[in-house]
Amino acid sequence: MTGSDAAVAPSAERRKAGGVLRRLAGSPMVGSPARGRTLARHLAIAVVALAIMWYLTDHVEAFYDFQIATIAAYLCVVAGLTVLTGLNGQVSLGHSALMAVGAYTVGLLLSKLNDHNVRAQWTVLLALALGVLTTSVAGVVIGLAAARLRGPYLAGLTLAIVVVVPSIATQFGSLFHGDQGVPVPAPPAPTSLGQFFPQEEWDAWIALAAAGITLFFLANLVHGRVGRNLRAVRDHEAAAQLAGINVARTQVTAFVVSAACAGLGGGVIAVINQSASPDSFALTLSLYLLLAIVLGGLGSLYGAIWGSVAIVWLPYLTNKVMNGLTLSAAEAAKLRGNVPLAIFGLALVIIAIAAPGGIQGLLRRAGRWARARFASRVPQPPSSTGRRPETSPPQGGATHRQAAGPEGLPPTTPSAPTSEVTT
Amino acid sequence: MARHTRRGIVLVATIGLVTALSACTSGNSGSGGGNNAAAAVPGITATTVTVGSHQPLTGPAAPGYSKISPATNAYFQWVNAHGGVNGRKIIYKVMDDTYNPATTVTVVHQLVQQDKVFAILNGLGTPTHTNVIQFLNDNKVPDLFVASGSTTWNQPQKYPWTFGYQTDYTVEGKVLGSYIKQNYAGQKVCFFGQGDDFGADELAGVKLELGDSGITSAQTYVVTNQNVGPQIGALKAAGCQVTVAATIPGFTALALGTAAQLKFQTQWMVSSVGADYNTVNGLLKVPPLLEGVITCGYLPSTSSDTDPWITLFKQINQQYNNNAPWDGNVEYGMSVGYLFVQALQAAGKNPTRESIVQAIEKGGFTGPGIVPLAFSSTNHSGYTGVQLAKITNGQTVAFGSAYTTDDGSGPVVAYNGTEGAVPPNGIPASG
Amino acid sequence: MERFVFLTVDGLAHGAIYAAFALALVLIWRGTRVVNFAQGAMAVVSAYIAYSVASASGSYWLGAIAAIVSGLALGVLVERGVMRFVAHTAPLSAIVVALGVSLLIAAVVGILYGVDQRPFPVPFSRTPYTIGSYAVFSPFTLFTFGVVAVVVIGIALLFTRTSVGLRMRASAFAPETARLLGVNVSRVLTVGWALAAGVGAVASLLIIPTAFLQPNAMDLVFVTAFTAAVIGGLDSPVGAVVGGLVVGLLLSYVSGYLGSNVTSIGVLVLLVAVLLLRPGGLFTMRQARRV
């Protein structure tokens, strides 16, 4: 949004601002029964999903458990990042550095405890919690610095932070062990599960629990007041400020939340990989996180799931394609490593162009198409687009709860503007 | 609202289905990983032995190192063409980790848990391999001949399944330091090394011989910054007469080139890691810069025309490695392959993971190395020393005797043995 | 003092190259509001073409011309063939596409040329002249300054004095109005990309001789140049040049006096300092978000 655009199309600006104000006016209030329903719904989804994954991890071989664990760990980070970038508009290239903070915290704590022969299961929980805490602090620091920055300037700052990580690890080598990194001696799976219980499955459970908590937390955040504020600031700062939102605090909050998620993800990765080393959290990883949020669907938590799966599975699949070919020595020397890279790059280009809304966008479109096809057979009340219209019709709307209005808002709210229907 | 819940459950079920389908369609889905009937040794069939490795085939660390695994594989093809080992052909699965430790973890998990390799061979890189060493030892996978000179691989108590291969950086540093003590006493000695364990270990070795005050100036570089002008300038300002260089080939070339530009004259002594003549010469725009440089190594000089091992390896390189440009990386790869075949043979007619580890610990392998291998139940380090060489007229010419020593305060001792004899057909005689 | 002079010269020489590369990034940013993450890979391709032509013909200059021409062509190719299909409503998608393009390019180059490092021919000596005991510029360094100066002045003149430049500025600032006035905005975009790619090719010709040619050779240059552009202000070509020089000097001083490991920390400190004071970069014209 440059100033020049505003000069050219003032009506678009006004409409955007208006939309923001309207949305702010008509959202569910905290503590209303609608909020309780949202929470319950999210809880139900989380429980069902975790149950399915618990069953799955028990019935696949160890390598898939490892992949599931890795996906779940990245999911924590990607979910936080998609909220930050998609819903709040802050582009961060530095989340791999935040993951590193979480990972190193977990590693250093577990190493210290291991040195003192403390090896119980609760140490992992403590380490992860501490990782989240330290990363949140880092998030506050960066968030405060970043609150004044926009777009590529924020990207530039966060990129510089990522590049610094290996230097810090080497500079304070006595603490961080430089290039080699810190070993993470997480205690093995509890013996109550059986003597041969695979470590990978236990790691997958830890990772899935972390991902479940993260998604639950973020889903509730996103559907509540904070989420509304985030979107408002992204879309039109001036309007948001007029509506009484503290822009700076919103920005910093968003950053801290996503940082905490990144710290959790990084800590879990450290547990899964049994080590935390600086080169694992280099710029490449930050770019992969960016790929994940775009490929999955920017701003969508479901999109975060698809994105996390994509960044773990796409390289795996491209390698499998490569290994399936039989090559002569000459060909192998040239193609090995490079062909999977080429396929991956090509996949990125194609997916990003063909599906700018990511995989979640594709699914949404498919869903809408399916509904439209089957809707022609069943009479439907005039449905709004994805946005919630601010009120149900003022004439005796109490019985029309079902029309997708913001739950719980009393139908006869005199303050709700009824003259302008949604854009 | 109902739509949300419905959508949520549908999506969640989709994830579950997709994962389940993919799991079912590829590979066994036993209950978790509990090893039922481990009678079959992973990676060993009646006709094949499968080993895996992680190597930087692409990315910033690929130059040079990407040539090692094709060379090892070429040696294995040679052995397979002659019947294999105890009737089994060797399959070498190399996966690209782009020198990124996170990727290393993934590919090693894949090799061990999905491809079920017999052993991991020649995993390359200190920062990369330290991330998988615990996993491999926990899962009792032989972790053979790690491609790095770090002392981490020599901890038989902690990592009983891991074995090093090349001479430790500290050992190298001690040999170089000892040589300097004897031949350049009284001169200003400096150090130019990589800013990680490689450089630190080598410097520690030099200091063990020369003392902490023996180094006038120690400069480090990082691989992410190819401008070494400031560091070479500092060395010039310190008036260094002898400079020990713990550099990878690219940075050896950069150091020599920058020194020439700055008119900095010194006696360079370069680690075996960065001293391969063909590689460095290919990177220098002024080849005569290498004249007079002292290097060291534990394998025969690549420029030798008479060494039978070089002849053998060159022949295999031509036949099975697409006649790749001959350099130290190719020699290294084939030497590792030779050692692995020796170990596999010594492991018996029906090798198991335990039997190969025991076979290596029994030691006694002779091969192309000009210094002995130190494998025993208390020593997993690999080659124990180096011999110095000087680059003269474009050839790497060894001089003096080889020296061996340990990682600690043991003395530097001359070694008067010779390299092993080349067996008939270039394949180790079955033990 | 000698050391300081040496480090200053070294820093300015590298800084000039970062300045050129940052200029290329700014060109594309101003025209399309996209940070071109594929800039490094595109520059490397041009360098490889220069290498091939120079090796085959024995002449560095033929190789250089080939590099610039191929750079221009590559810019057109990437813009017309890929970037134009990216939805304008999704700027992050443009970054993903650029990343995909850069991976693809690096892989293709790796397949065609292998991943090994190659020395790059250099047209002038890199041995510095000495005034007394001070080592000052080398012929190659002077050549670098000269080329970058020509590029910067050339682009400045292009933007301010030619109708092409005017059209480019108009398209960047007010595309709708420009279109109404008859400017073929899409063609102007292509010209912008071609120009930026050409400048990137020139930058690679200047920096790769100081190191080695390999598929990932320009990755770090991109990161440094992007940081320099941010410091100078992404909307300002002058900022790009100043930012590049400043970053080059800083890297040199930090590397020389504090050690090569902490150079990135030095850059971060500078970046934080600049952005805290001027969140839009040194030469920005935009209003800061008031917090």
Domains and CATH numbers, chain B: 48-167+303-383 (3.40.50.2300), 169-297 (3.40.50.2300)
- Among residues C46, C77, C41, C38, the alpha carbon closest in space to that of C64 is found at C46
Q: What angle do CA A420, A421, B4 make, to 5 degrees?
A: 145
Cβ separation B63–C117 shorter than 8 A: yes
Domain map (residue ranges) of chain A: 19-24+32-302
pLDDT digits (tens, 9 = 90+) for C247-279: 999 999 999 899 888 999 999 999 999 998 888
Please report the pLDDT score of residue A398 as a whole number.
Answer: 40
List chain C residues with CB under 8 Å of B228. Answer: 260
The closest CB to that of B196, out of A58, A66, A178, belongs to A178
Average pLDDT in the A319-345 region? 78
From first to last of its 431 residues, what are the pLDDT tens digits of chain B?
445 555 555 555 555 555 555 444 444 333 344 444 446 899 999 999 999 999 998 888 888 899 999 999 999 999 999 999 999 999 999 999 999 999 999 999 999 999 999 999 999 999 999 999 999 999 999 999 999 999 999 999 999 999 999 999 999 999 999 999 999 999 999 999 998 889 999 999 999 999 999 999 999 998 888 889 999 999 999 999 999 999 999 999 999 999 998 889 999 999 999 989 888 988 887 878 999 999 999 999 998 889 999 999 999 999 999 888 999 999 999 999 999 999 999 999 999 999 999 999 998 899 999 999 999 999 999 999 999 999 999 899 999 999 999 888 889 999 988 888 899 888 887 64
3-class DSSP state of B95:
strand
How far is A240 from A111, CA to CA, in rounded Å?
46
| C-alpha torsion angle, residues C180, C182, C185, C187 (rounded to 10) | 160
Q: What angle do CA A295, A300, A304 make, to 5 degrees?
A: 55
How does residue A150 score in pLDDT terms, banded at 50, 70 and 90? Answer: confident
List chain C residues with CB under 8 Å of B59. Answer: 115, 216
Please report the pLDDT score of residue C251 as a whole number.
Answer: 94
Please report the pLDDT score of residue B10 as a whole number.
Answer: 53
* C287 assigned to some structural domain: no
Taking the CA of residue C104 and the nearest CA in chain A, the distance in Å comes to 4
Strand partners, A1: none
Q: Is A149 within 8 Å of chain C by CB?
A: yes
| C-alpha torsion angle, residues C85, C88, C92, C98 (rounded to 10) | 30
Query: Higher pLDDT residue, A191 or A278?
Result: A278
Q: Which residues contact A261 (CB under 8 A, 6 or more apart)?
A: A76, A77, A79, A80, A81, A214, A218
How far is C110 from C214, CA to CA, in rounded Å?
8
Q: At residue A312, does pLDDT exceed 50?
A: yes
Estimate the crossing angle of helix A247-273 against helix A122-146, to 10 degrees. 140
The closest CB to that of A356, out of C89, C101, C174, belongs to C89
How far is C96 from A293, CA to CA, in rounded Å?
10
Q: In whole angstroms, what separates CA C88 from the centre of its chain?
A: 24
Distances (CA, A) of C88 to C52, C210, C265: 37, 39, 35
Q: Which residues contact A21 (CB under 8 A, 6 or more apart)?
A: A239, A242, A243
- In the block, residue with structure tokens 């450089």: B199
Please report the pLDDT score of residue B286 as a whole number.
Answer: 80
Q: Which residues contact B87 (CB under 8 A, 6 or more apart)?
A: B46, B47
Cβ separation A274–B9 shorter than 8 A: no
Task: Identify whether the C-beta of residue A272 lies closer than 8 Å to the C-beta of residue A207.
Answer: yes
Cβ separation B58–A338 shorter than 8 A: yes
| C-alpha torsion angle, residues C173, C177, C180, C185 (rounded to 10) | 10
The closest CB to that of C96, out of A159, A171, A352, belongs to A352
- Spatial strand order of the sheet with B143-146 comes to B89-96, B48-55, B119-121, B143-146, B162-164
Maximum separation of any 2 CA atoms in chain B, in Å: 86
List the structure tokens of B29.
Answer: 């889905």
Q: pTM for the full model?
A: 0.86
Please report the pLDDT score of residue C211 as a whole number.
Answer: 87
Q: Where are the beta strands (DSSP E) in B222-324?
A: 242-246, 267-270, 294-297
Please report the pLDDT score of residue A184 as a whole number.
Answer: 92
* C263 assigned to some structural domain: no
Average pLDDT in the A57-74 region? 91
Q: What angle do CA B229, B235, B236 make, to 5 degrees?
A: 85
Alpha helices in B90-189 (DSSP H): 101-109, 126-129, 133-138, 169-183
Cβ separation B131–A275 shorter than 8 A: yes
Task: Identify whether the C-beta of residue C223 lies closer than 8 Å to the C-beta of residue C58.
Answer: no
Report the relative pairing of strands B242-246 and B189-194 from DSSP bridges. Answer: parallel
Report the relative pairing of strands B267-270 and B294-297 from DSSP bridges. Answer: parallel
How far is A238 from A417, CA to CA, in rounded Å?
20
Q: What ipTM was estimated for this complex?
A: 0.89
The closest CB to that of C289, out of A148, A298, A338, belongs to A148
Mutate which: A37, A43, A277, vs B, most B CBs within 10 A: A277
Task: Identify whether the C-beta of residue B194 lies closer than 8 Å to the C-beta of residue B125.
Answer: no
How far is B124 from B135, CA to CA, in rounded Å?
16
Q: Residues of A148-184 as b/e, b for ≥16 C-beta within 10 angstroms? A: bbbbbbbbbbbbbbbbbbbbbbbbebeebbbbbbbbb
List chain B residues with CB under 8 Å of A196. Answer: 32-35
How far is C61 from C46, CA to CA, in rounded Å?
13
3-class DSSP state of A139:
helix
Cβ separation C215–B58 shorter than 8 A: yes
Report which secondary-structure segment, H or E, holds C244. helix C237-257
Give the pLDDT means over successive 10-residue stretches in chain C (291 positions): 86 92 90 87 94 90 94 94 83 88 92 88 85 81 91 87 84 82 86 92 91 88 93 89 95 91 92 89 65 45
Residues found in chain C: 291
Query: Residue type for C273, please?
Result: A
Please report the pLDDT score of residue A394 as a whole number.
Answer: 41
Domains held by chain C: number: 1
How far is C183 from C205, CA to CA, in rounded Å?
33
* C44 assigned to some structural domain: yes
Query: Higher pLDDT residue, B347 or A356?
Result: B347
How far is B39 from B41, CA to CA, in rounded Å?
6
List the structure tokens of B239.
Answer: 């008036």
List the structure tokens of A230.
Answer: 């985030």
How far is A96 from A81, CA to CA, in rounded Å?
11
Task: Identify whether the C-beta of residue B177 lies closer than 8 Å to the C-beta of residue B209.
Answer: yes
Domain containing residue C57: 19-219
| C-alpha torsion angle, residues B193, B197, B198, B203 (rounded to 10) | 60
Cβ separation A196–B34 shorter than 8 A: yes
Task: Identify whether the C-beta of residue B211 lies closer than 8 Å to the C-beta of residue B189.
Answer: no
List chain B residues with CB under 8 Å of C110. Answer: 58
DSSP state of B27: S
- Among residues C197, C220, C213, the alpha carbon closest in space to that of C51 is found at C213
- Among residues B157, B419, B404, B427, the alpha carbon closest in space to that of B312 is found at B427
pLDDT digits (tens, 9 = 90+) for A16-35: 777 777 666 655 555 566 66
List the structure tokens of B393.
Answer: 């007229």
Please report the pLDDT score of residue C87 as a whole number.
Answer: 77
List chain A residues with CB under 8 Å of B1. Answer: 37, 41, 404, 407
φ, ψ at B244 (rounded to 5°):
-85, 130
- Among residues C158, C180, B410, the alpha carbon closest in space to that of C169 is found at C158
Please report the pLDDT score of residue B11 as a whole number.
Answer: 54
Q: Which residues contact A90 (CB under 8 A, 6 or more apart)?
A: A84, A146, A154, A251, A254, A255
| C-alpha torsion angle, residues B344, B345, B346, B350 (rounded to 10) | 80
Please report the pLDDT score of residue A404 as a whole number.
Answer: 35
φ, ψ at A5 (rounded to 5°):
-60, -40
Q: At residue A417, does pLDDT exceed 70?
A: no
- Name all chains with 3 or more CB-CB pairs below 8 Å to chain C: A, B
* C276 assigned to some structural domain: no
Count CB atoms within 10 A of the CB of residue B217: 18
Average pLDDT in the A301-318 region? 91
